[in-house]
Chains A and B, each alone.
Chain A
Amino acid sequence: MPDKRRYPIPTRKYPPRRAIPQLVVRRDLRHNVGAMAGLVFLVMLVLAAALAPFLTPYDPLTTRPANQLQPPSHYHWAGTDLFGRDVFSRLLYGARISLLVGVLAVTIAAIPGTLLGLLAGYYEGWIDIIISRLIEILQAFPGILLALSIVALLGSGLPNVILAVGIASIPSYTRLVRSSVLTVKRKLFIRAARIVGCRDSRILFRHILPNVLAPVIVLTTLDIAWAILNASALNFLGLGVELGTPEWGVMLSEGRGYLRDAPWVSVAPGLMLTLTVLAINLLGDGLRDSLDPRWRA
């Protein structure tokens, strides 16, 4: 179709001026020792989880009762549990589940949470009232209680736990995005976009969304840690994964009765959980320091 506009579109000789801060400011992050340590740990964890079958000779599910509650040794690096299963290989396979839970739960939370926040902040009025009230209802419950109720409603099982933990953290995204949208949409370039005749969807997704994404990314990182911890808590309570699944929360729970005689059964998954959550939080903090304009020098 021929161009019917009267004025020629200026060709791009210069890169467009960016009102948006760059998403990742590498120099800042690279100098953040904590964040880098967290990142290194997480990369190693992901590799270990992916390569689990090559790193350990034991199947995480095979029971050998005759071999129960062996202390850590060069055969079993983290000992064996009540059923004679190798705790170390269960830790590696457990990392797969925990990482998966973290990423999926946060995806479930972040996408609808961000969308709702965009709509509420952009349109205000009755749409905002409805969305905000709904979110406030969700927020009235403590996260873990809300997740517990959702699991009670849907039934136990890992998919339901992921869904529950995800739903429980939708409100934080909605609120964060809504308030950012309220600020951004009053800026000149949005008005300009509207005057030029951009459709709402274009303004929302091409102009507003990139401008509110930075804090969402920070929240996502921190939220992964929260999701892993909460999913483990639900599994610890016996509401999540199926019997025998090497999930860290379940492993913690299984070892609880043997703390005196075989502390390694609980300590190993507890330590992994702590380190993983710590690593993600350090990385999240680092990201916030480098992304959040308010925190930058």
Chain B
Amino acid sequence: MRFKNIVFSAIGLGLSLLLTACPAQPAISPATPAAPTAGGKLIYGLTLAPSGIDPHVNASSELGIPLTSVYDTLVYQTADGDFVPGLATEWEISDNGLVYTFHLRQDVTFHDGTPFNAEAVKFNLNRIADPETKSQKAALMLGPYDHCDVVDEYTVKVFFREPYAPFLDSLSQVYLGMASPTALEKWGADYQMHQVGTGPFMFKEYVPQDHLTLVRNPDYNWAPAIFNHQGPAYLDEIEFRFFVDPATRALALEAGEAHVIGEIPPQDAARLEDNPAFKIVAVPIPGQPLQAFLNTTKSPTDDLRVRQALLYATDREAIVQAIFREYSPVAWGPLSAVTWGYNEAVVGQYKYDPARARELLDEAGWQDTDGDGIREKDGQRLVVAAYLMSWGYIPEVATLLQSQWKEVGVDVRSQQVAYPAALEAARLGKHNLILFNLAGSDPDLLRGFFHSEANFNWAKVNDPQLDALLEEGARLRDQAERQAIYADIQEKIMEQALIIPLRDYVNLNGVSAQVQDLRYDAQGWFPWLYDVWLSRSGD
């Protein structure tokens, strides 16, 4: 106890020296009611250096954080999941769901002076769909896209081969942002270093692994109504820097090296919250919670009773409390609670019940016959093979799973692997267990994991009924009908115990108290920096 006090007082002393040394961080009341003031440079910390940052080509979420401010999208999505006008003022969807007609704004120009019009939309969508582009994400988000027709200068029709419900959701994301056709043609494969959009900030410079700089677009006058103001953005400049090691992020904020950094470790978030110079903006991410996929084709997890036993043997509250603290909710199903289409019926299923877990394992014929604490059946020990990636607290979570499962007589053999190695192991079905999560605002993302032909079908599930439901969900247009289908899908996944949901992902953004009006989009990952301004009270 004494030692802790000494450390704390040393840190406290250091902090107070730091605070007195830099008058830029005075006693700030977090809710400054003052009017926004223009000017200043924001430094935003990214947590991963992406390998490529062309939103049409690359897949990383990290590229969307800066580039959401460079590109406008045809539609925007509100926090409630409604779609509102962006570059498109209105749109119609044909009754068969195959044709989308967009009416475009007529006052928009790209940063390089190219006018924004129907031709530009066609050029962009065709570029994404073109196999030559080798799009890793945007092309998938376009779904069964067929072609585009320019009706007149500001009207464009988008045709699909099959009905595709998630299209507006895709269109609202930076991966389908509108880039200048002139710049795309001029730079070709080198476009990612010279990006040109219509957004409130212009791409200035990108030095890979080091920084990415945006400057204000002085001509911006077409902000969607969901923003707080009109006209150019408040900030002069935004510099994105990389803080890859989680342990350094809070330190960097405290040292004034950045105004905002995402994915602050929970233990550091608690400390930052106690400091009036900072706030924590906790953003729940829609999509999948962190979950363990259970392979239904490899012993012992091929037995439903074993999978259910593992669920009952998992004390999620204890895991979340130990690792994620009070910031993350416990997850109960394949979708996190903030995702559109989330089914509350899964809440409380498979609540921690080690006695029930033991019963199920007994029923399945697994008994500890040699008294070593691990069950056996036909000379086989009850061991699950886990493949663990090193990010997102996966090893920490697995450590606790291992010790919780040991209580009921299950052993875990784990291997830490890089992402490609995990994909390979999963493809070959060498795993019993893989932990993973993917963000996304449309429940159609489940199709990529639980359809029998899905790339990420890590549960190795092959259920024609589930396949049909997933396909139906992607096709239907009626939101209520879709919701019912996804509710059904979530229940089916849990009935078959294909996954062990662990915690809903919450992105903890550490933010300097100077930063005002910072909001995040419906994806949860991407900041709306257009409305952001820096208060200078106490300057």
Contact of A244 among B321, B323, B402 (CB under 8 A): B402
**Chain A interface helix/strand/loop/mixed:** loop
Chain B contacts of A264 at CB under 8 A? Answer: 3
A73: Cβ under 8 A from any B Cβ = yes
Q: Does A243 lie within 8 Å of B1, measured CB to CB?
A: no
B247: Cβ under 8 A from any A Cβ = yes
Q: Does B403 lie within 8 Å of A83, measured CB to CB?
A: yes
A63: Cβ under 8 A from any B Cβ = yes
A263 to chain B, nearest CB (A): 7
A253 to chain B, nearest CB (A): 9
Q: Does A243 lie within 8 Å of B267, measured CB to CB?
A: no
Asked whether A71 and B402 contact (CB < 8 A) given A156-B416, A243-B388, the answer is no
Name the residue on B nearest A72 (C-beta). Answer: B3
Q: Mark B1-33, 1 if CB is under 8 A from A, else 0.
A: 101100100010000000000000000000000
Total A-B Cβ pairs within 8 A: 66
Could you tell me the distance between the alpha carbons of A156 and B386 in the complex, rounded to whole angstroms?
13
Could you tell me the distance between the alpha carbons of A258 and B525 in the complex, rounded to whole angstroms?
25
B427: Cβ under 8 A from any A Cβ = no
Q: Mark B192-214, 1 if CB is under 8 A from A, else 0.
A: 00000000000000000000000
Q: Mark A70-96, 1 if CB is under 8 A from B, else 0.
A: 011100000000111000000000000
Chain A contacts of B4 at CB under 8 A? Answer: 71
Could you tell me the distance between the alpha carbons of A84 and B250 in the complex, rounded to whole angstroms?
24
Asked whether A65 and B318 contact (CB < 8 A) given A73-B1, A243-B402, the answer is yes
A89 to chain B, nearest CB (A): 15
Chain A contacts of B414 at CB under 8 A? Answer: 242-243
Chain A contacts of B146 at CB under 8 A? Answer: none
Could you tell me the distance between the alpha carbons of A119 and B213 in the complex, rounded to whole angstroms?
61
Chain B contacts of A238 at CB under 8 A? Answer: 390, 395, 416
Q: Does A83 lie within 8 Å of B400, measured CB to CB?
A: yes
A164 to chain B, nearest CB (A): 15
Could you tell me the distance between the alpha carbons of A238 and B267 in the complex, rounded to whole angstroms?
22
Could you tell me the distance between the alpha carbons of A257 and B245 in the complex, rounded to whole angstroms?
9
Chain B contacts of A72 at CB under 8 A? Answer: 3
Could you tell me the distance between the alpha carbons of A42 and B132 in the complex, rounded to whole angstroms?
62
A251 to chain B, nearest CB (A): 12
Chain A contact-residue range equals 20 to 34
Name the residue on B nearest A243 (C-beta). Answer: B414
Q: Does A82 lie within 8 Å of B247, measured CB to CB?
A: no
B208 to chain A, nearest CB (A): 22
Chain B contacts of A261 at CB under 8 A? Answer: 267, 271
Chain A contacts of B403 at CB under 8 A? Answer: 61-63, 83, 244
A260: Cβ under 8 A from any B Cβ = yes
A198: Cβ under 8 A from any B Cβ = no
B79: Cβ under 8 A from any A Cβ = no
Q: Does A82 lie within 8 Å of B396, measured CB to CB?
A: yes
Asked whether A65 and B322 contact (CB < 8 A) given A72-B3, A238-B390, A243-B412, the answer is yes
Could you tell me the distance between the alpha carbons of A239 and B417 in the complex, rounded to whole angstroms?
8
Tell me the chain B residues, 288-333 only, with Cβ under 8 Å from chain A.
318-319, 321-323
Chain B contacts of A71 at CB under 8 A? Answer: 1, 3-4
Chain A contacts of B470 at CB under 8 A? Answer: none
Tell me the chain A residues, 138-171 only, with Cβ under 8 Å from chain B.
155-157
Q: Does B400 lie within 8 Å of A156, measured CB to CB?
A: no
How many residues does chain B have at the interface if contact means C-beta atoms less than 8 Å apart?
Answer: 34
Chain B contacts of A179 at CB under 8 A? Answer: none
B536: Cβ under 8 A from any A Cβ = no
Q: Does A82 lie within 8 Å of B7, measured CB to CB?
A: no
Chain B contacts of A83 at CB under 8 A? Answer: 322, 396, 399-400, 403
B56 to chain A, nearest CB (A): 32
B265: Cβ under 8 A from any A Cβ = yes
Could you tell me the distance between the alpha carbons of A73 and B4 in the complex, rounded to whole angstroms?
11
Could you tell me the distance between the alpha carbons of A256 and B395 in the complex, rounded to whole angstroms?
14
Could you tell me the distance between the alpha carbons of A264 and B265 in the complex, rounded to whole angstroms?
18
B250 to chain A, nearest CB (A): 8
Name the residue on A nearest B249 (C-beta). Answer: A257
Q: Does B267 lie within 8 Å of A257, measured CB to CB?
A: yes
A233 to chain B, nearest CB (A): 15
Chain B contacts of A244 at CB under 8 A? Answer: 399, 402-403
Q: Does A156 lie within 8 Å of B3, measured CB to CB?
A: no
Contact of A260 among B11, B318, B322, B398 (CB under 8 A): B11
A158 to chain B, nearest CB (A): 12
B115: Cβ under 8 A from any A Cβ = no
Chain B contacts of A82 at CB under 8 A? Answer: 322-323, 396
A68: Cβ under 8 A from any B Cβ = yes
A111: Cβ under 8 A from any B Cβ = no
A44: Cβ under 8 A from any B Cβ = no
Asked whether A239 and B3 contact (CB < 8 A) given A61-B403, A63-B400, A83-B403, the answer is no
Tell me the chain A residues, 219-271 only, with Cβ under 8 Å from chain B.
238-239, 242-244, 256-261, 263-264
A64 to chain B, nearest CB (A): 9
Could you tell me the distance between the alpha carbons of A280 and B412 in the complex, rounded to whole angstroms?
35
Nearest first, the 6 closest Cβ-Cβ pairs linking A and B are A65-B322, A243-B414, A63-B403, A238-B416, A71-B4, A257-B247
With A61-B403, A243-B399, A261-B267 given, can you name 8 additional A-B contacts, CB distance below 8 Å? A65-B319, A72-B3, A84-B322, A157-B415, A242-B414, A244-B399, A244-B403, A260-B251
Query: What would be 13 A-B contacts, judged by CB atoms less than 8 Å apart?
Result: A61-B403, A65-B400, A71-B1, A71-B3, A83-B396, A83-B399, A84-B322, A238-B390, A238-B416, A242-B413, A257-B267, A260-B11, A261-B267
Which positions in A face B, CB cutoff 8 Å? 61-63, 65, 68, 71-73, 82-84, 155-157, 238-239, 242-244, 256-261, 263-264
